Amino acid sequence: MAGHATMRCGEFRTSYRADTTIFPTPMSRNFALGGVVVLLLAPLVLNAYYLNLLIQIGYYGIAALGLNILVGFTGQISLGHAAFFGFGAFASAWINNSFGIPVILSIPLAGLLTTAVGMIVGVPAGRIKGLYLAIATLASQFILEDFFARAEWFTGGSSGSLANSISLFGYQMGTDQRYFYVVLFFVVVMFLFGANLLRTRDGRAFVAVRDHYLSAEIMGINLTKYRILSFGISSFYAGIGGALYGHYLGFVSAEGFTILLSIQFLGMVIIGGLGSVMGALLGTTFMVLLPEVMTSLVGTVGDLLPGLSQGVAYIKQMAIGLAIILFLIFEPDGLAHRWKMIKAYWKLYPFSY
């Protein structure tokens, strides 16, 4: 009897472990591992243009995951994500330039500094919701932009600041081919962290706060703490993404971190799928590739309609806006959801009814 009970217990244990893996099926895990392996080979085969796009997807994707933790998982709103992204970029350059701390360390330190700023901005979130919170975060966007312009010691003011390229063990990682691996490393680590966070205690607390905050509080969750914490974690991701961006471009200036980029981050999260870790990456990929596709489309059609090629900048912007609106209307659950449906379809194929 007792023996039977222990055996049952042991059996359960292994099955719970299998039940709590990051990836729902071995197949999806192999798929992700395969994806990383393919990406490891990417710099050997891809030209600079495509590598550049992948690197962009990497650092924007990390920031987008942060925003998804805040918006998709905790159900808050932020119109100031670009400012945190920018803060991370400036902070890492500043830490490296002023204290001589190597870039590989200044990037996570910049993440921590951005976390602190994000928590301060998040303090009102402990008290206000919805539209009011949107306005408060909008205000923080402008306050930080103003700070970037004024704090010359930190940002270099209107002339911007130089961000050294990264070197590892005396090995320069400045070229696209090498920097790609740095970004890939951070993407894998940050997405693993994110996936782990969201399947453990605090991640569940975020979703509980989003789904029903009154009953979350009855379940022992401190609402103020988790609302502010969500801002902190989201800013950490933004800071890391921004720092990677800065050291990639080699130069950081405030123009890049406007409300427009904040909206684009929201677009990535909405298009990818609110409340989905992989969705953040899918949405970012979509947002980074969309303007490129538009440009090449205009390039091909442009010969026929000469006026079109002058308007390419507008067309890109409109395409982004249009994509967000279309997704909100037709695919509110985002690409991640669509991907799930496709997977389910193939699993059952050919019995797809």
Query: Considering beta carbons, is residue 14 or 47 the nearer one to other proteins?
Result: 14
Closer residue to other proteins (CB): 16 or 169: 16
Partner residues linked to 162 by β-bridges: 251
8 binds other proteins (CB under 8 A): no
Q: Does 211 bind other proteins (CB under 8 A)?
A: yes
> Is residue 112 at the binding interface for other proteins, with CB under 8 A as the rule?
no
Residue 202 in contact with other proteins, rule: CB under 8 A: yes
Q: Please tell me whether residue 178 binds other proteins under the rule CB under 8 A.
A: no
Give residues 11-30 in contact with other proteins (rule: CB under 8 A). 12-13, 16-17, 19-20
Q: Is 238 in the site for other proteins (CB under 8 A)?
A: no
Q: Which is nearer to other proteins, 210 or 247 (CB)?
A: 210
Task: Compute how many residues bind other proteins; rule: CB under 8 A.
Answer: 36
Query: Counting contacts by CB under 8 A, is residue 150 touching other proteins?
Result: no
Contact in structure between 155 and 252 (CB atoms under 8 Å): yes
Single residue of 101, 138, 197, 323 touching other proteins by CB under 8 A: 197
- C-beta closer to other proteins: residue 129 or 199: 199
Q: Which is nearer to other proteins, 230 or 284 (CB)?
A: 230
- Contact between 282 and 334 under an 8 Å Cβ cutoff? The reply is yes
**Listed residue (149, 148, 156, 177) closest to 165, CA to CA:** 177
Q: Which of 158, 215, 296, 310 binds other proteins (CB under 8 A)?
A: 215
Query: CA-CA distance, 207 to 128, in Å (whole number)?
Result: 18
**Do residues 181 and 173 touch, judged by C-beta distance below 8 A?**
yes
Nearer to other proteins, 202 or 292 (CB): 202
- Pick the closer one to other proteins by CB: 208 or 266: 208
Q: Token pair of 196, please?
A: 């782990």
Nearest residue to 163 (alpha-carbon basis) of 109, 222, 92, 214: 92
User: Any bridge partners for residue 167, and if so which?
Assistant: 172
Between 61 and 203, CB nearer to other proteins: 203
From 66, 118, 203, 242, residue interacting with other proteins (rule: CB under 8 A): 203
78: Cα within 13 Å, side-chain hemisphere: 39
Nearest approach in angstroms of CB 93 to other proteins is 26
Contact 275, 207 (CB under 8 A): yes
Strand partners, 94: none
Are residues 173 and 55 in contact, defined by beta-carbon separation less than 8 angstroms? Answer: no
Q: Taking the complex as a whole, how short is the minimal distance between the CB of residue 225 and other proteins, in angstroms? A: 9
What distance in Å separates the CA atoms of residue 67 and residue 114, rounded to the nearest whole number?
Answer: 13
Residues found in the chain: 353
Q: Which range in 98-106, 165-173, 195-203, 247-255 contacts other proteins by CB under 8 A?
A: 195-203
Q: Which residue in 160, 182, 175 sits closest to 240, CA to CA?
A: 182
Q: Does 196 bind other proteins (CB under 8 A)?
A: yes
Q: DSSP letter for 258, please.
A: S
Q: For residue 4, with 0-12 CB atoms within 10 Å meaning exposed, 13-18 middle and 19 or more buried, which class applies?
A: exposed
Which residues sit at the interface with other proteins, rule CB under 8 A?
9, 12-13, 16-17, 19-20, 193-194, 196-197, 199-205, 207-208, 210-212, 214-223, 229, 233, 275
